[in-house]
Structures are given as structure tokens and as C-alpha cells.
Amino acid sequence: MIADNSTILVTGAGGFLGHHVVKALEEYREGGTNGARLDIKILTPTRSRLNLLEQDHINTYLFKQQPDIIIHLAAQCGGIGINQNKPGEFLYNNLMMTTNLIEETRCVLPQCKFVGIGTVCSYPKHTQVPFKEEDLYNGYPEETNAPYGIAKRVQLEMLKAYRAQYGLSGIFLIPVNMAGEWDNFKDESSHVIPAMLKKFHQAKISGAPSVTLWGDGSASREFLYAGDCADAILRATLLHDDQEPVNIGTGREVTILELAEKIKKVVGYEGITIWDKTKPNGQPRRCLDVSRARTGFGFTAQTSLDVMLDRSYKWAQENEVL
């Protein structure tokens, strides 16, 4: 439970998921568990205030702020293209941010609760669907995302090791692919939904007769509304304290071909879709077993894929990022 006078540090608060988590925490602070406002301090430092690549910087910040809970969202991530172009950077930066923060938490705040966020990219390429948490180490991750996925695996193992040796209370959640407001629509680093929304929107505006997408459309993905993920993170922070990883998702998959058709409808694009089969599909299928989250802390995703796509597109239009 998050008590009165608690201080919560959210790394990566200015990012996509961070916006949703901070919103969920603010709503919880205003309503608490019985409608009474809680005296909770939410720390949302920028990179200049808290540089996770510098241990001394982390040490000084934690000693000064004394958070009771750390929700670690900060990460360097993106779609297939940028993962292929920057594998070393993705591995190093994600690994160092996480290991530095966990180590300094152990040194400065051994009673702090650490909420670690993993990635579905950590699962082996050919994991049997639905992905169960115990399958996490049954093979090598899909090659285009492997460095990022392995860095997140290390976070899980570090939290387990630090719980065993130092008594650090660390939990680890594995969200599936997300979309929603505040998503990243940059050409070089966006994930599949914002990338498609932008391509179809620009084709609609320009009157282009076709849109070219990567792969052949046969791969499947599961998508979670980021606001629902924030709800899962809050629930786990309040109710969960176990070292084993927990999947966070909807438990429903859709092919990329089907997704493209849904996005075309949302955008209102009437041209044709061309599939560039020289480009990678990525992992063949992704769909999670979400029973552990449901039984462990009562999380069930509430937002449908259609609603999520509609919210994402409206937000992108209103914020002129397309």
C-alpha cells in the first residue's frame, strides 16, 4: 500500500508510458482508497536532474529525495528499424541505467520498493503462444530486438539477486506492445501503431495511391492501451511483492495485416497497402498469458484495440505530430 507521506520516484516520467503512470498516481493521490486525498509526493525528474548513466548523480539524488518507491520506466527503445541500427547503444544504455539505479537504491535506500518494467521483446523468438512467464529463458530473443530484450532480462535477474542477498523489494512487470496518448511518432524510432498511423495519415493528406509497410503482414502482435498498463503498474505497486515476472497485456492478438486494415479505417485512407517482403516481420507471434496479473493483483485490461487506435489518432492530430 502507498501510505500517507510517501515519496514516489518515476524515472522516464516525461516519456510515453511515464505520462500515463504519473496521471494514474495523481488520480490515486486525489482519491486514495476511501475518497480522501493522500499526502503523496511524486518525483518526475528530467534527465538533467537525474542522469541514470552516472552513479554519483543517482546517489546524490536518492540521498536528497529519499523516495519510498521507485517506478523505473526510463529506457531507450523503439521499433525494428532503430533496434537494428543501434543494437550496442540500446544494450549499453538500458543496461547501465538499470544496473546503476538498482545498485544505488540498494546502497542509499535498502527499504525502498523497486518496480522494474521489462519488455515482451525479452521472450524467445519462437515462444509458444500464449507466452507464459516461465518461458522467458527458453531460447534467444528475436534478433532485431535481442540487445534491448537481454538488457531487460538482466534487470529481472539483478532484482532477484538483490532480493536474495540484500533484501531489496523488487518486482518486475512485462508489458506487451502499447499505444495511446503521448506515443512516439518520430520516423526513426516509432513503434508499429504510431508508424502506421503516420504513414496512412500522410498518404491520405497527400492523396498517395498506396502505402508500403514492412514484412508480409502475417506476424501477430498483442496491443495494450498505455493507460491500462499504468493501472497495472499502480495495482502491482500497491499489492504485489514477489520476485517472479508478471505479464501485463490483454491476452488477445491481431495480425499486422488486420492491424493495418483497422488503422486505414480509423484514418480514413482509401488507397492500397503494399507489403515489402524484403523487410523483416520481427517475432512471428506475440500474445501473453495474463492470468498471473489477474490473480496476483486483480488486473484486467479494459480498453479495446479499436478504442486505443481512435484515441491515439485523435491525440496525434490534436498535438500535430503526424
Catalytic residues: 148
Inter-residue contact 28 to 234 (CB < 8 Å): yes
179 beta partners: 225
Inter-residue contact 136 to 245 (CB < 8 Å): yes
All three cell numbers of 191? 513503434
The candidate with the shortest Cα–Cα distance to 11, out of 93, 100, 73, 103, is 73
Enter the DSSP assignment of 4. T
**Could you tell me how far CA 116 lies from the centroid of its own chain?**
11
The candidate with the shortest Cα–Cα distance to 116, out of 169, 184, 189, 170, is 170
> At 110, is the secondary structure helix, strand, or coil?
coil
Beta strands in the chain (DSSP E): 7-11, 41-43, 69-72, 113-117, 169-175, 177-179, 210-214, 220-221, 223-225, 246-248, 254-255, 272-276
* Cα distance from N-terminal residue to C-terminal residue, the chain: 40
Quickly list DSSP for 293-307.
Answer: HHHHH-------HHH
Q: What is the dihedral of CA 85, 17, 152, 193, to 10 degrees?
A: -50
